[in-house]
Amino acid sequence: MNAYHPRHAAAEDGRGHRLPHRMETDSDQVQRDLVRLVLTVVELVRQLMERQALRRVDAGDLPDEKVEELGLALMRLEEAMTELRERFGLDARDLNLDLGPLGPLLPPD
């Protein structure tokens, strides 16, 4: 008779999929996952800043020179994000984490 023991039970991801018993310890994969998480947070903040900037531009709250500066800064940030994704072999979809029942973290472009 096999008694239930939590140490031997495989975890589930909330959708009925079994998760591995052990964490990934390959240093390259851990580094890639950490970079993915950091870039996801940066991308989320970038998108929020972009939306806020567009609201301010639409409301007429910014002088023309500030609109130009803001647009240039956001464009450079997007270029830097693209370079970092390429450097680590990630694409935009890799940064859109699935939050389970809440859906994807980032809105579709």
Measured from the Cβ of residue 95, the count of other Cβ atoms closer than 10 Å reads 21
- How confident is the model over 46-102, as pLDDT tens digits? 889 889 988 998 999 889 899 899 889 999 999 999 999 999 889 888 888 888 888
Measured from the Cβ of residue 102, the count of other Cβ atoms closer than 10 Å reads 7
Query: Dihedral (C-alpha) 41, 42, 46, 52: value to the nearest 10 degrees?
Result: 50
Instruction: Dig out the tokens for 41 from the structure.
Output: 């947070």
pTM above 0.75, yes or no: no
Locate the DSSP E strands across the chain.
Answer: none
Backbone angles phi, psi at 72, to 5 degrees: -65, -45
Looking at residue 12, the DSSP 8-state letter turns out to be B
